[in-house]
Amino acid sequence: NINSFKKIMEPSLKQMADALSKFKILSPLEIIEIDGFKALKFVSQFDMPFGEDESYTIRSWTYAIQAGKHFYQINFSDMENEDNEKIYAQLITQIKLKKQL
């Protein structure tokens, strides 16, 4: 059930906030559909260290697709000076999943 799956995923967002610098949710966890499968999506942003004195602000689109007892996770990321949101939206609609017997 997708609502139970969502409740299971919600604590992992808290864990990400604890582990990643300046983590914030840009688009909350929502139920969507990918190739006929129920899935979860959220968009986040965080800083990733690079070297000793530098860091990059990363935006990440996370998709978790329920598949029986397992799930597939797909992530797309860009940096703050890029804008790949339209490309990622197109890519996710092109994913084809095989139904399990």
pTM of the complete model:
0.87
> In this predicted structure, what is the pLDDT of residue 101?
38
Angle among Cα 84, 8, 45 to the nearest 5 degrees reads: 25
Q: What are the pLDDT tens digits along the chain (101 aa)?
A: 899 999 988 999 999 999 999 999 999 999 999 998 899 999 999 999 888 889 999 999 999 998 777 888 999 999 988 889 999 999 999 998 877 63
pLDDT at 100: 61
Query: What distance in Å separates the CA atoms of residue 11 and residue 31, rounded to the nearest whole number?
Result: 16
